[in-house]
Amino acid sequence: MKTFVLVAAMLLAAAVPLSAAQENPEGRVVKAAREQVGKTIRYDPGYEKLAYPGGDVPLERGVCSDVVVRAYRAALQMDLQKLVHEDMILNFAGYPRLWGLKRPDSSIDHRRVPNLQTYFKRMGYALPVTREAKDYKPGDLVTCTLPPNLPHIMIVSDRTNAGRVPLVIHNIGAGAKEEDRLFEFPLTGHYRIKTNEPQVRHSAQGRTR
């Protein structure tokens, strides 16, 4: 009888999904990105003055970087708006000068893919770019170039296609989607945020990498 009760309890536990607190950090990132599908339904690159920190455009719209920013905020309480802005204040000369800015702008800097790429590299999150599906893990961030020359960023999913190539979660023009497009465009970056670091280590305090 005791054996039966024990087996039944184990089966019941296996059937109950993990709570967000029990999932690993990468799983929470993927879950937070997937939850945007069907809610973010438009691509809108327009400039908008945002609150700081924690600012965002309305959830029903945004760009590819907003999928990333929202996912990491929701899953890990990691605010890329604040982190990128702090690092740009200290190291403005190290960031791209593609938009004619003379100083950091907390409303837009974190929404620009080249700035995110720079921040991730400076924090030591960059990994080699390959065409090997096994190298891309759930929660990884991947950048690519869309024709003719548009930078794009995607979150690697925990789901794969029939060939075991991971899907990606992104907003490529019609809202947040989970799609089989990892290797469709030329890749320009691969990043894995060290989710086991305390949040204080994500701060830009004095970093000059």
DSSP letter (8 states) at residue 52? T
Residue ranges in the chain whose pLDDT is less than 50: 1-22, 198-209
Q: Report yes or no on 141 lying in a domain.
A: yes
Let me know if residue 14 belongs to a domain. no
- The Cα 104–Cα 110 span in angstroms is 10
Domain-located, residue 3:
no
Query: What's the pLDDT at 3?
Result: 45
Establish if 95 belongs to a structural domain: yes
**In this structure, what CATH number is given to the domain that contains residue 123?**
3.90.1720.10
Which range of residues forms the domain containing residue 32?
Answer: 22-202
Report the domain count for the chain.
1
The confidence score (pLDDT) of residue 197 equals 59
- Integer Cα distance of 28 and 31 in angstroms: 5
Q: What global pTM score does this model have?
A: 0.85
Asked whether residue 11 is domain-assigned, the answer is no
